[in-house]
């Protein structure tokens, strides 16, 4: 390692980076491949059915696993009788907490460690026993035949009552898991300076991830080596967690996950099912496939926590925000999971305000633990903040878009020393979005429409956001290998979670190397054959991996230039890499085709290694967005029709216009679910059980619920400081302001402020009835 090499740290271990020159290449001013709407590199495999998802894996002699789960929200296992189940046809193994295989094995919920088979079941769906059999049906029958005696305990399912005196205790230490406060300025002073103060309480429901592909895995042992095929957002995260649980070296565990049918945060880490599957495979000496049922996934693989938010805001007549006081509470479930984490971030940082105070409470209830869910905390916070901004605008007689524009910050106010953003595209999102949406013209049209007699009323709404992350960062390692015929292998550990990561990385490599993306073959998401990568999630994959791929391509080019210098007998520094040729800058007729380079042909390949450098130390990388929508409400039936939606996003450089737009449309649909249809319903008073654990009763938005007219508008601001490709995250901000924009449009249509999501037709008719009477 030379003195010019940079060093960054991975898990405390120094790792040399590529030279500084390779980490600071010239910013792409114009691109020919990056940014184009190219089809996915794996499109044919996906649409033809040849793509192999973990749930498709079939191995010789494979058997099937099923988990028996607690049917009670709070109970203690007193006795388990497996005698009858053991005698059933096809049964190969049964594991309980008393089995030798499970002794001493624990599971980690953040800072709390529990037995893998915990006899104290704190939520419906906790694991009690597991069966492996020749068929899934045989395993399911045997699991149902296991007799369990439970001591049923008192439960608490309503998080708003979890801190009441006399509420059942989920954990011995009580139900208040964490309390956090933040303050800048003087909130009393800010409220005193205001010409108007409004206060409101808002509620969002608990949502379930319910991805198309079920959670689960296949496990197979070869002597002391374990291979796992997992439906996961990060194979290295699975490897680490299972190595910890089974006390195995990382090198003994191989995890593969080339395709994944949706995760939305719920597959950022494995579950107890992964350990159990591995134990069943070890005990039987056979490969085991263990996929959860749809009903199981509703119980035990995460959720977006419900929230209650109280927001008090002060404003001057000229639209200057003077104070924001925000309180929120939410449930982590039965174990630590960050129930109220980041819910207050938009109140802290989205708008310029000198006096802000926030507090959040994370509480425990007898329900499945939460997991990160696309933009954790932010959609809930936007539901409150963005409705309050509209309410303030209405009271002072200012256009809601103009009020937002008046309070745009250029620095991150919530971080220490208020660092500036590398780029702040919120103003452009609002201004260009309002122009594209024809905000002012539509506003006049709707006011005229709503003055007429009739039961169909229309409204338009806007919502804005930032995402706390979205800048990516180290560690990441990518290897590019060029063969002597000019074809290329791209090797990276990152998972493509359905968002087109492989396609974007092929475009980045092709752009830098001047080749056709079709000559690039991609190897990814395999802990045995690809490089370390953090899980794909949090809008960090493209801004993490794309700069790393570009660094690898630059490293590859430098190696080729060195080789070509020998053939051309000139200094390497005088050579230029131009497409498929290397040219001498002093005499451009003196050149050589890449595939004719002698040392490349002798060696058969040349390799470039790229590492992800650090983000700027004194600036913040955040994406910004604004959503606009138009709705029509049938005031007789409460039915809501979304007529059109516009998503405007500053996520830096658009890497692939097709995948960019699809992310926007998918995020809008998910936000519609939060605003109008989705809600986990627990029987809070009698049984504590989940009432809607299937796709029939848990209402996901369908094609009939979303508008035909959805538009994606990209605000592309050059951002050479964020990373060497100029890309910021997109996957999270596309869903943050959607529900709030809908609520604001409904207010314009009905004159009712809907503060509790989801807004069902029954809620509309109920509130309109109250308004009519009141």
Q: Which DSSP string corresponds to 67-82?
A: EEE-SSSSEEEEEEE-
The whole domain housing 448 covers 303-470+618-773
- The structure tokens 């996915």 sit at 40
Residues 295 and 422 in one domain: no
Residue % of the chain over a pLDDT of 90? 95
Give residue 338's pLDDT: 87
Digit-coded pLDDT (tens) for 702-719:
999 999 999 999 999 999
Give residue 7's pLDDT: 32
Strand partners, 581: 578, 593
From 572, 591, 611, the end of a domain falls on 611
Note whether 429 and 650 are within 8 A (CB).
yes
Task: With cut-offs at 50, 70 and 90, classify the pLDDT of residue 17.
Answer: very low
Residue 205 within a domain = no
User: Which CATH number is 68's domain given?
Assistant: 3.90.1170.50
Residues 285 and 315 in one domain: no
Give residue 25's pLDDT: 87
What is the pLDDT of the chain when averaged over all its residues?
95
Give residue 22's pLDDT: 40
Digit-coded pLDDT (tens) for 528-540:
999 999 999 999 9
Give residue 339's pLDDT: 86
Contacts of 368 (CB under 8 A, 6+ apart): 123, 124, 125, 299, 300, 301, 302, 303, 333, 334
Residues 690 and 740 in one domain: yes
Residues 418-436 have a mean pLDDT of 97
Residue 411 is given by DSSP the state B
pTM above 0.75, yes or no: yes
From 595, 611, 627, the end of a domain falls on 611
Residues 14 and 66 in one domain: no
From 300, 333, 349, the end of a domain falls on 300
State the pairing for strand pair 581-584/591-593.
Answer: antiparallel
Residue 384 within a domain = yes
Residues 441 and 492 in one domain: no
The token pair at 47 is 């649409």
Digit-coded pLDDT (tens) for 304-341:
999 999 999 999 999 999 999 999 999 999 999 988 99
Residues 278 and 315 in one domain: no
Residues 362 and 456 in one domain: yes
Residues 625 and 500 in one domain: no
State the pairing for strand pair 477-483/488-492.
Answer: antiparallel
Q: Which of 459, 405, 342, 369 is nearest to 626 (CA)?
A: 405
Residue 271 within a domain = yes
Q: Is the pLDDT of residue 6 over 50?
A: no
Q: Is the pLDDT of residue 21 over 50?
A: no
How many CB atoms lie under 10 A from the CB of residue 430?
25
Q: Is the pLDDT of residue 616 over 70?
A: yes
Residue 162 within a domain = no
Give residue 194's pLDDT: 98
Contacts of 88 (CB under 8 A, 6+ apart): 133, 138, 141, 142, 145
Residues 443 and 294 in one domain: no
Task: With cut-offs at 50, 70 and 90, classify the pLDDT of residue 697.
Answer: very high
**Region label for 129, one of left (φ > 0), alpha (ψ between -120 and 50) or beta (otherwise):** beta
Q: Is the pLDDT of residue 644 over 50?
A: yes
Digit-coded pLDDT (tens) for 166-175:
999 999 999 9
Residue 82 within a domain = yes
Where would I find the H helices in 471-530?
501-513
Digit-coded pLDDT (tens) for 551-601:
999 999 999 999 999 999 999 999 999 989 999 999 999 999 999 999 999
Where would I find the H helices in 169-292?
187-193, 235-246, 272-284
d(CA 742, CA 754): 10
Strand partners, 610: 478
Residue 175 within a domain = no
Digit-coded pLDDT (tens) for 330-370:
999 999 998 899 999 999 999 999 999 999 999 999 999 99
Q: Is the pLDDT of residue 13 over 90?
A: no
DSSP 3-state assignment of 405? helix
Residues 113 and 253 in one domain: yes
Count of domains in the chain? Answer: 3
User: Which CATH number is 13's domain given?
Assistant: 3.30.365.10
d(CA 650, CA 647): 10
Digit-coded pLDDT (tens) for 735-767:
999 999 999 999 999 999 999 999 999 999 999
d(CA 585, CA 773): 83
Residues 553 and 673 in one domain: no
d(CA 497, CA 499): 6
Residues 446-464 have a mean pLDDT of 96
Residues 476 and 500 in one domain: yes
The token pair at 359 is 């507090």
Give residue 14's pLDDT: 34
**Region label for 123, one of left (φ > 0), alpha (ψ between -120 and 50) or beta (otherwise):** beta
């Amino acid at each position: 390692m030379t003195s010019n090499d940079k060093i960054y740290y991975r898990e405390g271990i120094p790792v040399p980076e590529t030279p500084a020159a390779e980490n600071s290449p010239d910013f792409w001013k114009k691109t020919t491949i990056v940014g184009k709407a190219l089809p996915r590199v794996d499109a044919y495999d996906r649409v033809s059915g040849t793509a192999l998802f973990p749930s498709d894996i079939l191995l010789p002699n494979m058997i099937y696993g099923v988990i028996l789960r607690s049917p009670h929200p709070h109970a203690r296992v007193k006795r388990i009788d497996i005698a009858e189940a053991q005698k059933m046809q096809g049964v190969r193994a049964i594991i309980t907490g008393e089995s030798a295989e499970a002794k001493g094995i624990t599971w980690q919920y953040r800072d709390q460690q529990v037995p893998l088979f915990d006899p104290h079941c704190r939520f419906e769906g906790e694991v009690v026993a597991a069966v492996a059999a020749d068929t899934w049906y045989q395993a399911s029958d045997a699991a149902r035949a296991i007799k369990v005696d439970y001591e049923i305990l008192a439960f608490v399912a309503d998080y708003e009552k979890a801190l009441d005196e006399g509420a059942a205790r989920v954990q011995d230490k009580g139900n208040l898991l964490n309390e956090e406060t933040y303050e800048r300025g003087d909130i009393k002073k800010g409220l005193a300076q205001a010409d108007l103060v409004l206060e409101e309480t808002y509620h969002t429901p608990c949502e379930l991830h319910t991805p198309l592909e079920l959670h689960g895995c296949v496990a197979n042992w070869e002597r002391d080596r374990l291979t796992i095929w997992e439906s996961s957002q990060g194979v290295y995260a699975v490897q680490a967690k299972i190595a910890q649980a089974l006390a195995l070296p990382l090198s003994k565990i191989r995890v593969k996950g080339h395709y994944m049918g949706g995760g939305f945060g719920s597959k950022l880490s494995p579950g107890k099912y992964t350990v159990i599957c591995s134990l069943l495979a070890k005990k039987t000496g056979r490969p085991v496939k263990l996929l959860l049922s749809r009903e199981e996934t509703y119980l035990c693989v995460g959720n977006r926590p419900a929230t209650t938010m109280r927001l008090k805001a002060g404003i001057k007549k000229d639209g200057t925000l003077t104070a924001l006081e925000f309180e929120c509470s939410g449930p982590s479930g039965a174990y630590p999971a960050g129930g109220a984490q980041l819910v207050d971030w938009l109140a802290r940082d989205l708008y310029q305000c000198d006096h802000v105070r926030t507090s959040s409470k994370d509480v425990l209830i007898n329900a499945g633990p939460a997991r990160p869910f696309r933009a954790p905390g932010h959609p809930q916070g936007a539901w409150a903040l963005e409705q309050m901004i509209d309410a303030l605008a209405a009271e002072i007689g200012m256009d809601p878009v103009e009020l937002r524009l008046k309070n745009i910050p250029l620095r991150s106010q919530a971080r220490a020393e208020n660092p500036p953003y590398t780029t702040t595209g919120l103003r452009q999102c609002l201004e260009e979005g309002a122009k594209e949406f024809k905000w002012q013209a539509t506003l006049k049209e709707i006011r005229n429409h709503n003055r007429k007699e009739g039961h169909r009323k229309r409204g338009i709404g806007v919502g804005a956001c930032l995402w706390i992350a979205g800048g990516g960062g180290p560690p990441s390692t990518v290897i590019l290998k060029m063969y002597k015929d000019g074809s290329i292998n791209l090797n990276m550990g990152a998972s493509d979670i359905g968002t087109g990561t492989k396609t974007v990385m092929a475009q980045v490599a092709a752009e830098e190397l001047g080749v056709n993306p079709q000559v690039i073959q991609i190897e990814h998401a395999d802990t045995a054959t690809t490089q370390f990568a953090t899980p794909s999630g949090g809008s960090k994959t493209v801004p993490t991996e794309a700069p790393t791929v570009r660094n690898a391509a630059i490293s590859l080019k430098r190696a080729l230039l060195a080789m070509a210098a020998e053939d051309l007998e000139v200094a390497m520094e005088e050579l230029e890499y131009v497409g498929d040729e290397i040219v001498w800058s002093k005499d451009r007729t003196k050149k050589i085709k890449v595939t004719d380079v002698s040392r490349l042909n002798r060696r058969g390949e040349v390799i470039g290694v790229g590492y992800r450098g650090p983000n700027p130390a004194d600036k913040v990388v955040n994406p910004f967005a604004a959503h606009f929508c138009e709705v029509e409400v049938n005031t007789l039936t409460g039915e809501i029709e979304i007529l059109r939606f516009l998503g405007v996003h500053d996520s830096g450089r658009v890497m692939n216009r097709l995948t960019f737009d699809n992310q926007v449309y998918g995020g809008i649909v998910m936000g519609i679910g939060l605003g109008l249809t989705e809600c986990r319903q627990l029987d809070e008073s009698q049984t504590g059980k989940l009432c809607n654990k299937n796709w029939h009763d848990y209402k996901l938005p369908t094609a009939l619920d979303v508008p035909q007219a959805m538009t994606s508008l990209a605000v592309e601001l050059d951002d050479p400081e964020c990373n060497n490709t100029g890309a910021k995250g997109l996957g999270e901000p596309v869903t943050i302001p959607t529900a709030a924009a809908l609520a604001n449009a409904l207010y314009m249509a009905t004159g009712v402020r809907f503060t509790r999501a989801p807004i069902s037709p029954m809620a509309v008719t109920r509130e309109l009835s109250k308004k009519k009477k009141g």
